[in-house]
Structure 1
Amino acid sequence: MRRRWLMLALGTAAQTAACAFVYGVPYLAAELRDAAHLTLPQIGLLIACPAAGLVTALVAWGAVADRYGERIVIATGLGGAAALLAAAAGAATDGGGVAAPGALLALAGAAGASVYSASGRLVMGWFSAGERGLAMGIRQTATPLGMGVAALTMPPLAAAHGVRGALGLLAAVCGIIAGLVALLAADPARPEPGPGAPPAANPYRGSATLWRIHGAGALLVVPQFTAGAFALVLLVDTRGWSAVGAGRLIAVAQVLGACFRIAAGRWSDRVGSRLRPMRQLAATTAAVVAAAALTAAFPSPLTAAVLVLCIGITASTNGLSFTATAERAGPSWSGRALGVHNTGQNLTAAVVPPLSAALISATGYWPALAAAAAVACGAAALVPSDTSRGPAVVSSVP
């Protein structure tokens, strides 16, 4: 039974490495501008490439994981991403513009999508129903952890060794973890269909439960990315903080968000439900983000504290939505369902910052936060009730 914790560690490490390179390119912007002589629009294009590649491949990788298992998908995809990142490291500094490095980064993102679709399956299959919430909460801390690792390592590496050295380190980390997954990971046991048994039923047919979970999960990205993307400049503009001081506070808030994810998962295990805590946390998110809007409209010493709580609570539902998706989809469909869920969340994450920035520029910070609070209310209403139950993931462990 201890083996399941090794699977959790491998899945979390793989997800952290994938997040680090997908979200790590922005931290190379200064070096790309100064050393590679790229313009800001060119740098923006490169920043978007890994995420663009990611969303195109999530569902396809999920289907492969459903058929062939998690270990081979994670190892192959992350290993491919390592090779592509190594190639991008050279292309980004050869003076040939953005076409070649952009294509390579997009392909690396598409390869890394394997981890997003399969590592959740790996974790879910090894833990029983009474532990999955906690396990997936821990696994979902990989996103802030990966972003934090990138923020801490990319700028100094780029300054000391250039873009080639920074991307080279990401490639090496991805390659090492891919090797560990190939050597140490084991696919969880799956129920074997009997002779002549029909294929597993499509969980999307005859029920809107999964679509409602996907929709609610995507809507909850709106307050999360609105608060996370603009809290720093809000403190600088309305409270006169320095960017360095505000950045440190945001880092603390991201740690709080990781803790909230773990606590929410453990709560769902104790109450035997993913959706009821998800709905209650979505409603709480709406209230906290509304309070943040109020403190943005009337800045005070409370503004910073409310923003920290806001960033923390908006991250709390992430693991619950993924766990609910996999459990409702069942072992034969969870890879594809997680791919669909990831696609919706990542597409929403891509459009929220520019839309929120436009709203802030036109009206100010508090209307953008108020709009995000209203979206969280809609998400709470969209979360399905526990009376609509689908198949659960089989909890047997090899």
Structure 2
Amino acid sequence: MAVPTVTAGATPRRYGPRHRWVVLAVGVGAQGSFSAMFSGIPVTGVSMRAGYHLSTGALGLALACLGLGVAVSDIVWGLLTDRFGDRRVLLTGLTSTGVLLVVMATAVTPADGAGTVLLAVCLTIAGALGGSVNGASGRAVMTWFGEGERGFAMSVRQTAIPAGGAVGVALLPWLAQAYGFRAVYAVPAAFCLLAAAATWRWLHEPAPTPGPPAPVVTESAVQRSPLRRWDVWRLALAGALLTVPQFAVLTFTAIFLHDVKGAGAALAGLTVLIAQLGGGAARIWTGRRTDRAGDSSGARRTCLRRIGVLAGIAMAGAAVLTDAPTPLTVAALALGGLLANAWHGVAYTEIAAMSGAGRAGTALGLIGTTLFAMAFLTPLLIPVVLAHASWAAVWGLAAAASLAAVPLAPAALRAR
């Protein structure tokens, strides 16, 4: 990949400040295309379990591999983004993800005799390639938007995760039942390839600011790497704990409602859809609100802690209501999932701001690694908890993780 970056040519210099909204749209499209696959495939869990002849534990392993792929690659993608630029990384990641999904649609379906190992390997690679969008699209936002707009812009970009996920949640289970897994993989492939085309056409670096050249920054003036700062790690680890209820609801709501409540995939899809879309709206609201605060950084940190408390309470309610009438249980899960989706924008903005624009890719890769490592572990842990306890214990564990994130997250500072 040792080739000239996109800043070397003349074309990017034609794009002025107004182009930032186009860049944001490209980032939203890139993030949403990956999320449609990442969130939609787990909700096909009932069809996947039956079609591939998987046990519940094997299903959890296969679904967890999506998160594992992102977790093992996100820091690498972040470092590559800081080195080579967001455009090249997005083009590489989106195109390769789309190609892999095409291969899966043609050769890794139940009709092809694919088993647990091949499915898990392919989902791991899909997560590893698609994870490129996390740091690269976030760095683009940090590059194009100023401090007074970054919270809102990053939250809009982060909203693409539940919004794109909602598309996948609404579409992929229906495709699995009506057309099989060839369609389940082919449709997200088309999304990723379209996002790659939009990236190639519209994602460029900002035009240089008029005036004298910026002073050369020496190595000693460069901020310490985010990977060597405990405050950055605290924020990333707090985000990982807040990911537990998010992925508990995402990956096992369908199985819970099917096995315990006798409900179909439609109710599970609706529950996750409410969590995804509601969480997306909450991300935008929290991003805008923290931007307007006098101390944006302090507001973001306070917001993150408050969401941890509320998500913990909601998931504790889901644990208590496990055996309640189905509407009450579904409402608690939807609320818990919504709150567990609400914090990403402020967390991603804060960790990027803490690290500086030049290190934003690495910082976003770090938080992506911790989040998706937990996204990998959560589906593996839930079947173990079920084997020794109950669904109430599953939702109670998600509540405990949310509450544990509160003291771990960095507190607001009086001065930056």
- TM-score bracket for the superposition, by shorter chain length: 0.7 to 0.9
Q: Is the 8 A contact 1:85 1:167 kept in 2?
A: yes
Name the residue aligned to 2:90: 74
- Shift of the 70–301 alpha-carbon distance from structure 1 to 2, 3 Å rule, reads closer
Shift of 1:349: 1.6
2:68 aligned partner: 52
**Which of 309, 317, 339 lines up with 1:291 in the alignment?**
317
Identity of aligned residues (%): 34
* Equivalent residue for 2:291, pick from 269, 274, 280: 269
Cα pair 2:238 2:405 within 8 Å, conserved: yes
Does residue 355 of the first structure (1) align with residue 381 of the second (2)?
Answer: yes
In the alignment, the residues of structure 1 paired with residue 42 and residue 256 of structure 2 have an alpha-carbon distance, to the nearest angstrom, of 20
Q: Is the 8 A contact 1:214 1:344 kept in 2?
A: yes
Structure 1 segments unaligned to the other structure (5+ residues): 391-398
RMSD of Structure 2 on Structure 1 (CA): 3.3
Tell me the equivalent position of 2:199.
181
For residues 112-261 of structure 1, the aligned pairs below 5 Å read 112-158=130-176, 162-188=180-206, 194-195=215-216, 197-198=218-219, 200-204=222-226, 207-231=229-253, 244-261=266-283
The answer as to 2:35 corresponding to 1:13 is: no
* Displacement of 1:147: 2.6
1:92: how far off? Answer: 1.7
Corresponding residue number in structure 1 for 2:77: 61
Q: Does 1:343 align with 2:369?
A: yes
Between 1:59-68 and 1:301-310, the stretch displaced more is 301-310
Q: Report the equivalent of 1:394.
A: none
1:351 CA displacement: 1.5
Change beyond 3 A, Cα 1:293–1:44: closer
How many residue pairs were aligned? 388
Q: CA offset at residue 241 of structure 1?
A: 5.7
Indicate if the aligned counterparts of 2:52 and 2:114 stay in contact, CA closer than 8 A: yes
String of CA shifts for 1:149-192, please: whole Å, max 9, x gaps. 22333344455655334423322221121011011112357998
CA distance in 1, matches of 2:126, 2:264: 35
Structure 1 length as normaliser, TM-score? 0.84
TM-superposed CA distance for 1:24, in Å, is: 4.0
Give the TM-score normalised by structure 2. 0.80
Distance 1:214 1:388, change over 3 A: farther
CA distance in structure 2 between the partners assigned to 1:378 and 1:18 by the alignment: 29
Does the 8 A contact of 2:165 with 2:276 survive in 1? no
Aligned-partner residue type, residue 190 of structure 2: A
For 1:245 and 1:160, how far apart are their aligned partners in 2? Answer: 17
CA displacement at 1:85 relative to structure 2 = 2.0
Shift of 1:325: 1.0
Structure 2 unaligned residues grouped into runs of 5+: 1-16
**Does structure 1 residue 89 correspond to structure 2 residue 105?**
yes
